[in-house]
Amino acid sequence: MTINRRNFIKATSLAAAASSAPGILRAQSGSARVVVVGGGFGGATAAKYLKHWGGDKVDVTLIDPRARHTSCVMSNLVLNGELPLKDLRFGYGDLTSKYGVQVIKDSVKRIDPTARELTLKQQVPVNYDVLVLAAGISFKKPRGWIANKNPHAWIAGGQTRLLKDQLQAMPAGGTFVMTIPRSPYRCPPGPYERACLVADMLQSNGGGRVVVLDANEGIQAEEETFSRAFDQLYGNVVEYSAGVELGVVDSNANVVETSLGDFSGDVINIIPTQRAGGLVRNNGLTDGGFWAPVDVTTYESTLAGFEDIHIIGDAQGSGQPKSAHMANAQAKICADAILRKLASQPTDHAERLQNITTNSACYSPITRDTASWLTAVFQYDMDKGAMALAHIAEAGEWTRDNYSEMFDWANNLFADVWG
């Protein structure tokens, strides 16, 4: 590997931002009202950059039911006690004080695309000229599954704390069973990194079993690295099986039925099949599928009747990896397109299209003080009208340097989203 990852990420992020910065907006009769739903990685970035680049020409409102977002990124380190959950919580104070984003603490229930009106759970309806949806994922629940007994910990917060508590209460030599859904799911390397960290915990407590039941035909990211870690570091602990279909879950008895037979464990971590969050699905934006189809040059819905509704982050279905780094990159392209359109500037000229790039990065702790990493760059393909993989790189080794760089990378990302 010749690439220096830190420079690589910095360069690609800056390139995406620079190529996306819009020109001066033309005079409008009033500020356009852009409403962003969801204050996670995609939504907070979009709200920030809409105001940062659009200034007084746009009135930006961010809606999220929680006062602070809890980051999934780095949340596997809460499970092994390396990070407190409180360090992964981010409020919206800077978005308001530094950029002028208005924040409403509420949950959006319905979208009326004709009236351009949102129905909120508690407050009066909110109108928009342009809508950005960044409401993340939801789960297709397996039969019998009770999340409060067999946590997913795939949306960070109370579920992360519950899984951590269950792991800490595990008896010596106990069994941890984890199920991995079919791709696409949020954070392709995430389940395998979790398996490594739990194996590391069990091993340092005298042993145990980590049973990994993967619905896919094989490891979905950094295959060579995780295979080697499973064999060399955790050969006596990790039992990995591919192509395993999950059936009924008996959460009261801690038993999962699968195509490979029944498995019981002291702790069962069900990571279910994923799809766009309820707001996007229930309002017809997935066209009956799992993810929302979008134009990747603007992230506007491609479905008729949803003009000026943009979907970014994990909920959109463009085939790019579902990651926080990617949601951050998509948000900037989306914000740029919205501002150009509001200024009556074209979004589809060749110079802009050629410069549309996004990138994804995931660091994976493999032990409590080493990590690997994976990054991928996507470039707009003018012939196909889609994002195409332009470059992929991975660490190939788990090292202490990678582990410490992981914190720099995460802190930079958090600051770019909420800072």
Ligand X SMILES: Cc1cc2nc3c(=O)[nH]c(=O)nc-3n(C[C@H](O)[C@H](O)[C@H](O)COP(=O)(O)OP(=O)(O)OC[C@H]3O[C@@H](n4cnc5c(N)ncnc54)[C@H](O)[C@@H]3O)c2cc1C
Among 398, 342, 323, smallest CA distance to 132 is for 342
Buried b (16+ CB within 10 A) or exposed e, 111-120: bebeebebeb
Asked if 73 interacts with ligand X (CB under 6 A), we say yes
Asked if 43 interacts with ligand X (CB under 6 A), we say yes
Q: Which is nearer to ligand X, 88 or 237 (CB)?
A: 88
Chosen residue from 20, 76, 159, 372 binding ligand X by CB under 6 A: 76
Q: What is the DSSP string of 132-180?
A: EE---EEEEPPTT--TTTS----S-SHHHHHHHHHHHTPPTT-EEEEEE
Q: Which stretch binds ligand X (CB under 6 A): 36-44, 196-204, 378-386, 387-395?
A: 36-44
Write out the two tokens for 191.
């389940």
Chosen residue from 54, 151, 188, 313 binding ligand X by CB under 6 A: 313
Asked if 38 interacts with ligand X (CB under 6 A), we say yes
Q: Scanning residues 286 to 305, which ones bind ligand X (CB under 6 A)?
A: none
Q: Which stretch binds ligand X (CB under 6 A): 41-49, 91-99, 141-149, 389-397?
A: 41-49
Asked if 41 interacts with ligand X (CB under 6 A), we say yes
Q: Scanning residues 204 to 243, which ones bind ligand X (CB under 6 A)?
A: none
Q: Which stretch binds ligand X (CB under 6 A): 24-32, 66-74, 239-247, 332-340?
A: 66-74
Write out the two tokens for 412.
């930079």
Among 278, 310, 280, 275, smallest CA distance to 290 is for 275
Asked if 17 interacts with ligand X (CB under 6 A), we say no
Asked if 334 interacts with ligand X (CB under 6 A), we say no
Q: Which is nearer to ligand X, 95 or 187 (CB)?
A: 187
Residue with the CB atom nearest ligand X in the bound state: 40
Asked if 72 interacts with ligand X (CB under 6 A), we say yes
Q: Cβ of residue 383: shortest distance to ligand X, in angstroms?
A: 28
SS3 breakdown of the chain: % helix, strand, coil, rounded to 5? 30, 30, 40
Asked if 134 interacts with ligand X (CB under 6 A), we say yes
Q: Cβ of residue 121: shortest distance to ligand X, in angstroms?
A: 8
Do 205 and 172 meet the contact criterion of CB atoms below 8 Å apart?
A: yes
CA distance 57 to 178: 49
Q: Which is nearer to ligand X, 55 or 158 (CB)?
A: 158
> Which value, to the nearest 10 degrees, does the dihedral of the CA atoms of residues 73, 77, 82, 88 take?
30
CA distance 253 to 410: 38
Q: Which is nearer to ligand X, 70 or 297 (CB)?
A: 70
Chosen residue from 9, 13, 34, 42 binding ligand X by CB under 6 A: 42
Among 8, 41, 4, 76, smallest CA distance to 334 is for 41
Q: Angle at the Cα of 336 (from 332 to 339), degrees rounded to 5?
A: 140
Residues that bind ligand X (CB under 6 A): 37-43, 63-66, 69, 72-73, 75-76, 107-108, 134-136, 154, 186-187, 190, 277, 279, 313-315, 322-325, 327, 361-363
